[in-house]
Amino acid sequence: MPTKTDILDLYFMDSRYKLLDIAAYLDRLDRHDGELDFRQRGFDKALAAMQAPPTGKSRAQAVLEALSDHSTEPADAATIQFAFGAPQDS
Amino acid sequence: MNYIEPHAHMVSRTTADYQAMAMAGCVAICEPAFWAGFDRGSVEGFRDYYRQLTEYEPARAKKFGIPHFTWLCINPKEAEDAGFGREVLSIIPDFLDAPTVLGIGEIGLNKNTKNELAIFEEHVALAVKHDLPILIHTPHLEDKLKGTRLIVDSLKNANVDPGRVIIDHVEEHTAGIVLDAGFWAGMTLYPESKCTPGRAIDILETFGNENIWMNSACDWGISDPLAVAKCSIEMKKRQYTPELIQKVVFDNPKKFLSQSPNFRI
Ligand SMILES: [Zn+2]
């Protein structure tokens, strides 16, 4: 099994650049006019969930669950064919 | 290293992709029926698609020495029109005797609707009637968790042998739901959505190496027909032994797919 140092060697630079991309994306949203919508509210919840995942959940699970529809009944009909990436009630 | 690509939409790929996959060590390609990026206008459009899957693609793959297999169904997006879905379902038995058909798939849900679920259940009944394995597509992004739960509940109610069902496109929040219920799980290496190679290996480390495979699901979207081969290199970087890499990219898919009498490599 790889050690923490092995994982850092493999993934630190890649994760560093992805982190910076998220920071720059949030700055970009701040800089531009208009309104945020449910997608960014879901994103903010996911960021918080990543920092403090519920007991028994990994960070990745917490992020995915923050960005999931938690309703349980089948929908009456499809109004769109695609998915947004965050639930519309975020 | 030899590997099996258990989920690829080659109708959307170039012949050069077949060549690249052969060079990368791909020894079998399995192609589930899916949404072509647009809604087809008639049942005959599906008949032509099934002919493409059972006649044309095997011939195209054979030029590169790769056996090509297929799964048949109407995908959940087009099954939202349940009347149309049933008309298409009625022609599927015409193709089930083709020598490269493995089973029914990729059926499943897209927006988790009542009609999608009804047509899903009719496909499951068709598979049971013909004693065929099932390959299942789980919905995208925010719809995946709910869809996976609905699918697992529906299959439990139908008393289907979970060892003959693979539920594909699992991620960290759904892999446990699928594997704990005894089903096989598929991980899809797809840019922008689904899994990166790094995350797919994390899922193996978290949930184990049994009853799980990985695929590229390469199609008309931004996707990579060599994703499985590239992930096996990532596994090597993560200090997986050659035996363990082979288990995930070859032995596991071979074990599941061999439940279809038509799967021979
Ligand atoms: Zn697919």
| Sheet bearing B68-72, strands edge to edge | B3-5, B26-32, B68-72, B101-108, B134-137, B165-168, B184-188, B212-215
A51 touches B: beta carbon within 8 Å: no
B3-257 under CATH 3.20.20.140, yes or no? yes
Inter-chain CB proximity A80 and B173 less than 8 Å:
no
Q: What mean pLDDT comes out for the span B175-202?
A: 95
pLDDT for A90 beyond 90: no
Across B185-190, average pLDDT = 97
B211 — pLDDT class (breaks 50, 70, 90): very high
**Res B192 pLDDT > 90:** no
Distance CA A78, CA B42 (A): 20
Q: Which residues of B touch A64 (CB under 8 A)?
A: 144-145, 171-173
Residues in chain B closer than 8 A to A6 (CB atoms): 239
Over residues A28-54, mean pLDDT: 98
Report the separation in Å between the CA atom of B146 and the middle of ligand 1, taken as the mean of its atom positions: 19
Predicted ipTM of the assembly: 0.96
Chain A contact set for B199 (CB, 8 A):
60
pLDDT of residue B188: 98
Q: Please say if the pLDDT value at position B149 is more than 90.
A: yes
Q: Nearest C-alpha of chain A: how many angstroms from B143?
A: 6
Query: Does residue B191 have a pLDDT over 90?
Result: no
Res B193: pLDDT: 83
pLDDT given at position A42: 98
Q: What is the pLDDT of residues B215-256, one digit of tens each?
A: 999 999 999 999 999 999 999 999 999 999 999 999 999 999
Q: What is the mean pLDDT of residues A64-71?
A: 98
Percentage of the residues of chain B whose pLDDT score is greater than 70: 100
| B18-26, Cβ contacts within 8 angstroms, sequence gap of 24 or more | B18/B60, B18/B61, B18/B63, B18/B64, B18/B66, B19/B64, B20/B225, B20/B226, B21/B64, B21/B66, B21/B225, B21/B226, B21/B229, B22/B64, B22/B65, B22/B66, B24/B226, B24/B229, B25/B1, B25/B229, B26/B2, B26/B66, B26/B228, B26/B229
Please report the pLDDT score of residue B182 as a whole number: 98
pLDDT tens for residues B85-115?
999 999 999 999 999 999 999 999 999 999 9
Is B206 close to A2, i.e. CB distance below 8 A? no
Q: Quote the ligand 1 centre to B8 CA distance (angstroms).
A: 7
**Domain ranges, ordered by start, for chain A:** 1-34, 35-67
CA distance B116 to chain A (A): 9
Quote the pLDDT of residue B215. Answer: 98
E-assigned strands of chain B? 3-5, 26-32, 68-72, 101-108, 134-137, 165-168, 184-188, 212-215
Would you state the pLDDT for residue B59? 98
Q: What is the pLDDT of residue B133?
A: 98
Reported as a pLDDT band with limits 50, 70 and 90, residue A3 is very high
Q: Is B92 exposed, middle or buried (0-12, 13-18, 19+ CB in 10 A)?
A: buried
**Cβ within 8 Å, pair B116-A87:** no
Average pLDDT score over residue span B1-25: 98
Residue of B nearest to A74 (CA): B113
Half-sphere exposure of B26 (CA within 13 A, CB side): 31
Q: Tell me the nearest-neighbour CA distance from A63 into chain B, angstroms.
A: 9
Q: Is the pTM of this model over 0.80?
A: yes
- Residue A42 to residue B112, Cβ atoms within 8 A: no
Domain boundaries, chain B: 3-257
Chain B residues within an 8 Å CB radius of A87: 142
